[in-house]
Chain A
Amino acid sequence: KAGVTQTPRYLIKTRGQQVTLSCSPISGHRSVSWYQQTPGQGLQFLFEYFSETQRNKGNFPGRFSGRQFSNSRSEMNVSTLELGDSALYLCASSLLTTGLNEQYFGPGTRLTVT
């Protein structure tokens, strides 16, 4: 079974621009979560989607948004990029079986804002 895929893998943007990142979960996984990873803050939860509904959102400004499609693929968008948005953005999918919510992570998208 193919793992979680994320595109693009690397991205360089300029301050003020916007960016869209894509995530394809493992087949059959309906839950997709997004995380921001930086050396200083570690792994921070952005949001989680299940069946096209955002069920929870982390403590990030409204510039960060996301959506999930009917095939469970997900996108996240960051508008008006700031230097501090430079990070590794990780997507994770989960099968959400009873009692176990193991997260399967993708390789991430490395975003650099200049």
Chain B
Amino acid sequence: GQQVMQIPQYQHVQEGEDFTTYCNSSTTLSNIQWYKQRPGGHPVFLIQLVKSGEVKKQKRLTFQFGEAKKNSSLHITATQTTDVGTYFCAGYSNSGYALNFGKGTSLLVTP
């Protein structure tokens, strides 16, 4: 079945440094979603990418969807302590009903 892999598993940065997490799927994705989960919280939807090569920005966050629609990345510029959390990518299975999550990248930002 479809597998969504995410790297790195953990990332520790100093405040102000940039951060990137990468997501790779074993199969072509119809779309990819990104979620953020703060410590002790639940996943919160950030964005959905649909088109091949699509790039979307949300303030300091930049999301990319690969040309082959099998990989994606999330880049945070000049991290802040509020960026702390685990970032998940997720893609729908071929059935369209099961959302398969990567294992996430836990970001720690120290002031």
* Complex: A106 Cα to B41 Cα, angstroms: 9
Please tell me if the beta carbons of B43 and A43 are within 8 angstroms of each other in the complex.
Answer: yes
- Given that A43-B88, A100-B48 are contacting pairs, would A105 and B42 also be in contact in the complex, using a CB cutoff of 8 Å? yes
Q: A42-B103, A45-B99, A56-B93 are in contact. Are A103 and B45 (CB under 8 A)?
A: yes
> How far is B32's CA from A9's CA once the two chains are assembled, in angstroms?
29
Find the residue from A42, A104, A107 having the highest chain B CB count within 10 A: A42
Categorize the interface residue count of chain A.
20 to 34
Please encode chain B, from 48 to 78, with 1 for each CB lying within 8 Å of some chain A CB and 0 for all others.
1010000000000000000000000000000
Q: Shortest CB–CB separation between residue A7 and chain B, in angstroms?
A: 14
Alpha-carbon gap, A41 to B101, bound state (A): 10
User: From A58, which residue of chain B is reached at the shortest CB distance?
Assistant: B98
Q: Which of B41, B42, B44, B90: most chain A Cβ within 10 A?
A: B42
Which listed residue, A42, A48, A50, touches B102 by the CB 8 Å rule?
A42
Are B43 and A105 closer than 8 Å at their CB atoms? yes
| B101–A43 CB distance below 8 A | yes
B99–A33 touching, CB < 8 Å: yes
The verdict on A55 contacting chain B, using a C-beta distance below 8 Å, is yes
**B50 touching A42 by the CB < 8 A rule?**
no
Q: B103: which A residues are within 8 A, CB to CB?
A: 41-43
Bound Cα distance A32, B7 (Å): 28
Bound-state Cα–Cα, A33 to B33, Å: 15
* 22-58 of chain B: CB within 8 A of chain A: 33, 35, 41-45, 48, 50
- Among A22-36, those with CB < 8 Å from B are 33, 35
CB of A99 within 8 Å of the partner chain: yes
| Complex A-B: 24 CB contacts under 8 Å | A35-B101, A42-B101, A42-B102, A43-B90, A43-B104, A44-B101, A45-B98, A45-B100, A45-B101, A48-B98, A55-B95, A58-B98, A59-B1, A90-B42, A90-B43, A99-B50, A101-B99, A102-B48, A103-B33, A103-B35, A103-B99, A105-B42, A105-B44, A107-B41
Binding site for B on A (CB under 8 A): 33, 35, 41-45, 48, 50, 55-56, 58-59, 90, 92, 99-108
